């Protein structure tokens, strides 16, 4: 993990939030490469989930919602973690993460206070008056924005069951112990699906989505033996769920959740119907009856999968007696698709190299690097997962051709500059 955290900072994937002020626990900033990769993850998810399916629509709800939403959902009352304090060092921890009654900070054993419940909702005020009536919450999940818009989506899109709504956006949880780099933070992004089905079909769709979601990760190159599905024991289920399984990844710190796939029953639609007085149900024309759909919810983070993709792609190899660090990222996720590298800073080469770069920029996310030896520059691109390097050399000035070097095999092919965009397009899956 240390190698990865350091690579992320050094190469501009992820920085500590407000670092010059000493940082803020549980918040991280995505740098120039990180934002590209994060956007690629979201775009790929959106493409698979919304664009390529005939039973899904997208939406983008506000982060701030009517406070009653969180009463109906159960968050105001029950969205809490058990918290203990260490009497020795005054550290505060999640009780369910303590092992053998030992303080993770100072090592003292048996020094914890009784567990108290701590609500994870971030509270703030809407408008100029800071009183109880103006309390609003930063959403702790994107899901509720889709439940409360069920009727709006249904009538505006005339969908029939089964169908889903998908959404990507920020969520906030006042986690007791943010940790493991970007794994557990107080501000994070989620990619959530609410899939509405007839109640009797819920178990089948739950199974379907479990398989489908694991397939998304393996399709993007994650090694299958590092992924598993773990079903929650009945006593560990959230109050609304009939069943839930997590997609877990084997991080250096152990098996940890990337996303949860829950059968939420009709809990949310029933609750919002009750609290708002607006009936949220579906009229099944074929059967001539009203049903309150059950909901299957595949709920993924963006940050945790991003960390898993990087961890999974990280390789150290030896090439001709030298260490090569490689991010074997799927090309769809790679922040930079192609780097243009003039063989040297020779003044005859630079104009052509810049011309080649300008030609590629409208088509792909690219970069240009002319500092240090060509070998060092290949290594720098390998380390950030760039699938292709395009080298402009002295022959280019004569034959108007460049060399494409592939990251994993390091194989090189010569292609004419006029066919370069096409040659890269053939090698890069659409994203």
Residue from the set 11, 173, 337, 380 that interacts with ligand ATP by CB under 6 A: 173
Closest distance of CB 276 from ligand ATP, Å:
23
Binding status of residue 194 toward ligand ATP by CB under 6 A: no
Strand partners, 318: 323
Site for ligand ATP in 304-343 (CB under 6 A): 304
Is residue 258 part of the contact set for ligand ATP (CB under 6 A)?
yes
Is 268 a residue that touches ligand ATP (CB under 6 A)? no
**Residues 106, 86 contacting (CB under 8 angstroms):** yes
What is the nearest approach in angstroms of ligand ATP to the Cβ of residue 26?
8
- Name which position in 207, 257, 275, 284 contacts ligand ATP (CB under 6 A): 257
From the CB of residue 199, how many other CB atoms can be counted at a distance below 10 Å? 13
Segment contacting ligand ATP (CB under 6 A): 82-90, 184-192, 359-367, 369-377? 184-192
Contact flag: residue 188 with ligand ATP (CB under 6 A)? yes
Task: Kindly report whether the peptide bond that precedes residue 162 is cis, defined as omega within 30 degrees of 0.
Answer: yes
Which single residue is written with the structure tokens 């408008």? Answer: 127
Q: How far is the CB of 104 from ligand ATP (least distance, A)?
A: 16
Question: Does the protein bind ligand ATP through residue 175 (CB under 6 A)?
Answer: yes
Q: Which stretch binds ligand ATP (CB under 6 A): 85-93, 280-288, 299-307, 404-412?
A: 299-307
Nearer to ligand ATP, 43 or 354 (CB): 43
User: By CB under 6 A, is residue 190 in contact with ligand ATP?
Assistant: yes
Residues 355-384 that bind ligand ATP (CB under 6 A): none
With b for 16 or more beta-carbon neighbours within 10 A and e for fewer, the 22-56 pattern comes to eeeebebebbebbebbbebbbebbbebbbeeeeeb
Q: Contact region for ligand ATP (CB under 6 A) — 66-74, 160-168, 294-302, 404-412? A: 294-302
Q: Which of 304, 380 has the CB closer to ligand ATP?
A: 304
| 3-state secondary structure (DSSP) of residue 407 | coil
Do 180 and 251 meet the contact criterion of CB atoms below 8 Å apart? Answer: yes
300 binds ligand ATP (CB under 6 A): yes
Smallest separation, CB 175 to ligand ATP (Å): 5
As a 3-state breakdown, the chain gives helix, strand, coil percent values, each rounded to 5, of 35, 30, 35
263 is an interface residue for ligand ATP by CB under 6 A: no
Structure tokens given for 356: 């080649």
Contacting residue, 145, 164, 169, 260, with ligand ATP by CB under 6 A: 260
Ramachandran angles phi, psi of 89, nearest 5°: -115, 0
Dihedral sign for Cα 329, 392, 395, 418, please.
Answer: positive
Q: In terms of CB distance, is 169 or 301 closer to ligand ATP?
A: 301
Decide: is 36 part of the binding site for ligand ATP (CB under 6 A).
no
Cα distance between residue 126 and residue 135, in whole Å? 6
Pick from 185, 140, 252, 218: nearest CA to 14: 185
At a CB cut-off of 8 Å and minimum separation 6, what does 222 contact?
A: 249, 308, 309, 312
Positions touching ligand ATP (CB under 6 A) are 141, 173, 175, 184-185, 188, 190, 257-260, 299-301, 303-304
């Amino acid at each position: 993990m240390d190698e990865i955290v350091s690579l992320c900072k050094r190469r501009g994937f992820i920085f500590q939030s407000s670092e010059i002020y000493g940082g803020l626990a549980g918040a991280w900033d995505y740098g120039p490469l990180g934002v590209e990769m994060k956007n690629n993850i979201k775009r790929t998810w959106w493409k698979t989930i919304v664009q390529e399916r005939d039973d899904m629509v997208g939406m983008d709800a506000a982060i701030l919602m009517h406070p009653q939403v969180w009463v109906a959902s159960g968050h105001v009352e029950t969205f809490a973690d058990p918290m203990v304090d260490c009497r020795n060092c005054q550290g505060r921890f999640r009780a369910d993460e303590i092992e053998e009654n030992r303080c993770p900070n100072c090592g003292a054993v048996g020094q914890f206070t009784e567990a108290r419940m701590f609500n994870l909702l971030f509270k703030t005020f809407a408008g100029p008056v800071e009183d109880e009536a103006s309390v609003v919450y930063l959403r702790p999940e994107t899901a509720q924005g889709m439940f409360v818009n069920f009727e709006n989506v249904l009538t505006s899109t005339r969908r029939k069951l089964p169908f889903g709504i998908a959404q990507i956006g920020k969520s906030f949880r006042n986690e007791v112990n943010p940790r493991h780099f970007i794994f557990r933070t107080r501000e994070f992004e989620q990619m959530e699906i609410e899939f509405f089905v007839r109640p009797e079909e819920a178990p089948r769709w739950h199974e379907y989505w479990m398989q489908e979601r694991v397939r998304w990760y393996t399709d993007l190159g994650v090694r299958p033996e590092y992924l598993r599905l773990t079903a929650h024991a009945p006593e560990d289920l959230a109050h609304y769920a009939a069943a839930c399984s997590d997609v877990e990844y084997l991080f250096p710190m152990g098996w940890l959740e990337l996303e949860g796939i829950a059968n939420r029953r009709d809990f949310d639609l029933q609750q919002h119907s009750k609290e708002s007085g607006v009936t949220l149900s579906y009229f099944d024309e074929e059967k001539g009856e009203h049903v309150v759909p059950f909901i299957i919810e595949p709920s993924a983070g963006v940050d945790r999968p991003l960390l898993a993709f990087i961890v999974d792609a990280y390789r150290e190899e030896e090439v001709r007696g030298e260490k090569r660090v490689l991010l074997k990222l799927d090309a769809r996720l790679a922040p930079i698709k192609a780097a243009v590298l003039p063989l040297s800073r020779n003044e005859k080469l630079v104009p052509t190299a810049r011309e080649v770069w300008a030609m590629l920029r409208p088509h792909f996310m690219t970069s240009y690097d002319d500092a240090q030896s060509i070998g060092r520059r290949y290594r720098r691109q390998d380390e950030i997962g760039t699938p292709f390097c395009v080298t402009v050399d002295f022959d280019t000035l004569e034959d108007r051709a460049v060399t494409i070097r592939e990251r994993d095999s390091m194989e090189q092919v010569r292609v004419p500059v006029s066919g370069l965009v096409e040659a890269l397009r053939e090698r890069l899956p659409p994203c």
